[in-house]
Amino acid sequence: MELKTKYQYTYFIYPFAVKENKYQKYLLNLLKNDKFNIKIFERQRNIKMYQYFLPKISEFLFSGFSFSEEKKKNLESLPVETASALISKNNCNVFEYKLKKDVQGKTGENGIFFKITKIELICFKNGICFLVMKTNIENSDSFSDVLNFNYKFRDIKQSGNVLNSYDKIKIQTDIFEDMNKLTKFIEDITTSSFESMKLDIDIDRFLTYSYVCIDQQSWNAEKAFEDIEYEFIKFANFLPADDVTKYDNSNFTDFSKWRYAKIGVSKQGVALFSSDVDMNNYTILPDEFENQYLYTYILNLYKKLYLKKLENDFQKIKYVKKARKQFIDFTKELWIQEVTDDQMGARFDNQLFKTFRLDKFYKQLKNQYDVMYKEYNIEKNHKVLCYIFSALVLLIILAIWNSLT
């Protein structure tokens, strides 16, 4: 029996990088663009986010939590040039794209219809950004459609022959008219791909962050998860519904504190698979997953890319001094800080840390820093010794001169 869905959404995430010395200008262009609004997080309106993240991480991600009403009003009244200079100093800025009401995507006559419900830009002050797009499948409760849609949509930036390799789905949207328009939109927002390629970002594929709650008829107290486990494996690996290859869970890690929900984490993305036998899985958990958990995921992606950026900067003599300071700041502001004291959130954060192998990247960078620090001190001490030697020679010359005169 085919699995049926109770509730579903998928976020497609596109990481990219803006040249650091052009970041303020990039923010200025966003502020001038009437289709984008800067998003200010407020404690009362975003109370769950505020309570989930520990204070230092909360302030790092959401500077608006510390904004007074007066400061928010002042920000809105400032000239865009001044505002861009001001917000460029924030660790993180979020922009919302103004979507038309009921923006619906569609495929061929027998294809999958979907709605784009949110587009946001999450930008960090060193130019590392994430384009985040939320989609919902319309007029279908087929789990196969979820699998096929996730499999297809994440590759929409690839060449036409790749898009046609799975011809059961032909994606197009009313807002972008066709995939070429959507690709153009992404290119316009993400600027040149040169900076992204330096960070080894896959510029042809979205990361996928997906939630599905299936009908309890397939997973309940009488029907074990093991009976549908392979469907979860396909979902967590973002495979099409008709994939018959025998995969195991070696390509991802799954874990959970819930009886009827499992999270799969891989380098390709995150997938949460649940059953509506537990009401929490279509009421509370979907909201937590697309807010607290999503920003936990974005934060770990940012750490990974920023470590790569620092590694690149350490290779360039003119950036070494600045990179050393940034590495120290990164260690103090993020690396040694706990993200949350929420039990499941901490497990999720820890699993992302392991999946991205952040510890390995950090140790490699720290070794580079230690070597450079020693070389810097040796060079500094050498200069000091040279000054001392020169001063001694000068004193000897002066002493001889005085004795002769």
**CA-CA distance, 184 to 201, in Å (whole number)?**
18
The domain boundary residue, chosen from 285, 312, 327: 285
Q: By residue range, what is the domain housing residue 317? A: 303-404
Q: Which of 24-28, 41-45, 46-50, 182-186 has the lowest mean pLDDT?
A: 182-186
What is the pLDDT averaged over residues 148-157? 89
**CA-CA distance, 311 to 147, in Å (whole number)?**
37
Asked, for residue 124, whether it belongs to a domain, the answer is yes
Asked, for residue 298, whether it belongs to a domain, the answer is no
pLDDT band, residue 166 (cuts 50/70/90): very low
Q: Label residue 230 exposed, middle or buried (CB < 10 Å: 0-12, 13-18, 19+).
A: middle
pTM of the model: 0.87
- Residue 68 confidence (pLDDT) above 50: yes
**CA-CA distance, 287 to 278, in Å (whole number)?**
15
Looking at the structure, tell me whether residues 175 and 318 fall in a common domain. no
What is the pLDDT averaged over residues 89-118? 77
**CA-CA distance, 59 to 65, in Å (whole number)?**
7
pLDDT band, residue 65 (cuts 50/70/90): confident
What are the beta bridge partners of residue 93? 123
In the chain, the amino acid numbered 221 is A
Asked, for residue 31, whether it belongs to a domain, the answer is yes
Dihedral sign of CA atoms 139, 218, 274, 165 in order: negative
* 217: DSSP letter: T
What is the pLDDT averaged over residues 94-119? 74
The domain boundary residue, chosen from 252, 285, 318: 285
Looking at the structure, tell me whether residues 30 and 137 fall in a common domain. yes
* pLDDT one-digit tens code per residue, 187-238: 889 887 889 999 999 988 999 999 999 999 999 999 999 999 999 999 999 9
| Count of the separate structural domains present in the chain | 2
* 142: DSSP letter: B
Looking at the structure, tell me whether residues 258 and 309 fall in a common domain. no
Locate 161 and state its tokens.
Answer: 């022959």
Q: In this structure, are residues 145 and 112 in contact, taking their beta carbons and an 8 Å threshold?
A: yes
Asked, for residue 242, whether it belongs to a domain, the answer is yes
The domain boundary residue, chosen from 219, 253, 285: 285
Q: Which of 43-47, 75-79, 172-176, 324-328 has the lowest mean pLDDT?
A: 172-176
Looking at the structure, tell me whether residues 264 and 319 fall in a common domain. no
Asked, for residue 93, whether it belongs to a domain, the answer is no
- How are the residues of the chain apportioned to helix, strand and coil, as percentages rounded to the nearest 5? 50, 20, 30
* pLDDT one-digit tens code per residue, 354-380: 999 999 999 988 888 776 655 555 455
